[in-house]
Amino acid sequence: MAVEARSVTQQWTGGDSNGGGPPATEPGGRVSQRLSRVMAAVWQNRKREWWPRLVLLLAAVLILGSLFVMLFPGLPLTAADRAAERHLPALDNHFRLLILTACVLPPILSWLAYLLINKRAIYQTVRPSFLPGVDEALEDAALASWTYEIGKAQWSLSRAEVFAGMWGIMTTASIVGAVSLLIPPFHTPGTIFDGPRATVAFAVIGAAVTSFLLDLSRVCIRAANDDATKRMFAEALRSLILSVITTLALVLLAALEQPGWLSWESAAADKAGAKAVLIALGIGAGVAVMGSSAFEWMQARVSKLFGAARKVVATGTPLDALGGMGEAEALRLAEEGIECVEALVNTPIPRIFLNTRFSLRRIAEWYDMGLLIARVGREAATELHGRWGIRGAVEISQTVTNTADPAARDTLRKIFQKSLRVDGDAEADLVLHYIACDERVALTETFRQTHVCEEDQHPEFPPEASKPTPPRAQAESRVRRS
């Protein structure tokens, strides 16, 4: 089961330090009880995860077996049968070995990347604890969010192995499909690689290999930073598919606009057509380096060619509106499907913490600023911060709910009148009231004060539990009630 080094795939045990035993009764015991149920459910679900491995293994055997038959067509025949079967020159054994090695490596490397992530994370324990004095209703809501996100992440990240296998096998399938155009019966051994088939084959090989190597390096860096998730392998698979599709579409589009370019009359004049091969490999590699940008460009060209209008998707407030949000952080959040401030404040804080390397306090600060931007707008929030030093919605909520200092509330009302350009007190009071009554503001402060412990443990057996309640349904009902 794939797990992230600091995310929820870490083992959440609910018993004593010996691993297994009754739930804890000290403060935070409710956390231990719920998390023990989650881990028990995960251990039960893990027993049923054997069939994806079998399917992936059968797919790999089928693909590599087909390649082996193409490379060694006369292996099961006698010498006389092989002579009667084919009159073409035989492939060089070194060339066969090179092709087999190139096609076997992607599944092996993707599997090793998965094992690296799993090895770093499987013995880690993370448990949240709330500070004394937190309102019980807020603590229950925060605990319900933690429990639900833990169950969801456990259920989701347990399939990282499947996505890693699909990524490696799709890379192999792309290379095998392209190589089949470069060997008999499509190509005569010893002749120059030229023509449309060679163009398509080498372009696809360049795109698949380049995309795989780029994503493999990204996976290794993410694993070294303890920031590896299931979505990482899914994004690598998507990048591979888009690169291959864009390469095929680019070759087809170029053939339609300039029908003679695939002949490569000038490029094929050199020895063995080396220039033609390099051009095709460069086309595929360039598409893979551009990534999704190349696919979007190809979409625009194809839409223009067929006269179809592309739908423009409206976007929200950019993430750079948050103070301290750099480009690297914004790109990392975009990988989790969070591309604007509005999407950020509508995503649970535990989900981002469990799936990224960002600290809980830093995420809470982004939420604090994001809630203010979502309520009053980017310009007003920038003015509140730059002119009056108000960073987020939590400060406003605490000032509004502080009945011991009415002068501070009156001053805050005047500040809002100037920043929001409103004339009366009623309009400013309404905005302040909405901010103070927003449950997300109170939960943000609760999560900011939550302490998260990480420690290494080596449990020899799963937590003891009989018929555990499914954590997702149980936590979801708690969230709805709160």
Residue matched to tokens 């449950």: 439
How many CB atoms within 10 Å of residue 334? Answer: 13
Q: What pLDDT shows up at residue 407?
A: 85
- Report pLDDT digits (tens) over 465-480: 334 344 444 433 333 3
Q: What pLDDT shows up at residue 310?
A: 66
pLDDT higher at 482 or 167 = 167
Q: What pLDDT shows up at residue 107?
A: 93
- Report pLDDT digits (tens) over 316-367: 889 988 877 888 899 899 988 899 999 999 999 988 988 888 888 899 999 9
Residue matched to tokens 């694993």: 223
Domain spans of the chain, in order of start: 1-191+450-482, 196-309, 345-449
Q: What pLDDT shows up at residue 74?
A: 62
Residue 145 · residue 479 · CB < 8 Å: yes
Weakest-pLDDT range from 83-87, 433-437, 449-453: 83-87
Q: What pLDDT shows up at residue 288?
A: 94
Q: What pLDDT shows up at residue 37?
A: 53
Mean pLDDT (whole number) for 71-100: 65
Q: What pLDDT shows up at residue 457?
A: 42
Q: What pLDDT shows up at residue 227?
A: 80
Q: What pLDDT shows up at residue 207?
A: 95
Pick from 49, 259, 56: nearest CA to 155: 49
Confidence of residue 236 (pLDDT cuts 50, 70, 90): very high
Computed from CA positions of residues 458, 460, 462, 463, in that sequence, does the dihedral angle turn out positive or negative? Answer: negative
Q: What pLDDT shows up at residue 49?
A: 64
> Which bin fits 312, alpha (ψ -120 to 50), beta or left (φ > 0)?
beta
Confidence of residue 259 (pLDDT cuts 50, 70, 90): low
d(CA 12, CA 459) in angstroms, rounded, equals 11
pLDDT surpasses 60 at 266? no
